[in-house]
Amino acid sequence: MKNTILLLIFALLFASLSHAQEVETTVVSDTEAVEEESVTEAETELVGDYEAVDPQDWYNIEYQEFLNIGANKVIRIAIQNNKIASTNNAWRVTAINSIETQLVSGTNYRFNISLLNEDNTTVIRTTFVVYNQPWTNYTLMTKWYYIVLPQYVPLKPLSLVNTDRVINALMVYGANQVILAAQADGKIPEDESFIPRNLSAARVRYQYPDVYNYVFTVGMKSNVSSTVKSTYRVDYNTTLDGARLNGYSFTYSP
């Protein structure tokens, strides 16, 4: 039922946009993703499947040692690939989603974790495998995959406890960003200021457990009685309590 409602919301939004005479559209990518992979000879000598580690054991020294090795390596790779700034190197683990082990000619440790940078603006989602052969004292990260989520505009001190306040702040933030972008492109006069009116919103989906996507349809009126009708999407990261504009369309009527 929820999926049907969401599909109807999208259909109504795009149907209304397709009939607008003057529509400007800008699309901002959801995320920036990189996937890299390498396989050692040891990994091909499989003995068993991966087995999940009990969450009660996740913080044992054994797992934390290999988690830190892999996390630091992923950060260095992201810096080398210019996915994060070289000065953005103070990170902390904010979530351990899973740890698994696999017996080979040694042990493969597979981690799925989330990392957050020092100023709380960028998130890295990563899955990586660290191979360890204790009798030769050999350790190597053999596989990795990561996604860097773009910077978000902090909305603190908002709180999810007051959901209506968050939604209202996201609507106003998105409306202001649309106007600023349109003025920067010369589509709307820079000397006009707009006040959002007739705000409506729908939470349409979530991309990750802590990233929600909202679609808003907003009517705005300027100080000289011009109007703007806009449909736009705002991503909201609950971990960062921050937002970013992620695509919009609008009609401007002088």
Domain layout of the chain by residue ranges: 32-149, 152-253
- The answer to whether the 32-149 and 152-253 domains have the same CATH topology is yes
Task: Give 24 or 82, the one with higher predicted confidence.
Answer: 82
pLDDT tens for 69-84 read 999 999 999 889 888 8
Average confidence (pLDDT) over 157-168 = 55
Cα gap 125→68, rounded to integer Å: 14
Task: Give 136 or 154, the one with higher predicted confidence.
Answer: 136
What CATH topology corresponds to 32-149?
A: Nuclear Transport Factor 2; Chain: A, (3.10.450)
pLDDT of residue 87: 74
CB contact at 8 A, 111 and 127? yes
Cα gap 47→240, rounded to integer Å: 41
What CATH topology corresponds to 152-253?
A: Nuclear Transport Factor 2; Chain: A, (3.10.450)
Confidence of residue 116 (pLDDT cuts 50, 70, 90): confident
**Average pLDDT taken over every residue of the chain:** 75
pLDDT tens for 28-56 read 333 334 444 444 434 444 567 899 999 99
Confidence of residue 154 (pLDDT cuts 50, 70, 90): low
Residue 157 reports pLDDT greater than 90? no
pTM to 2 decimal places: 0.50
Average confidence (pLDDT) over 222-242 = 84
N-terminal to C-terminal alpha carbon distance within the chain: 41
Give 227's Cβ-side CA count (13 Å radius). Answer: 6
Task: Give 37 or 198, the one with higher predicted confidence.
Answer: 198
pLDDT of residue 130: 96
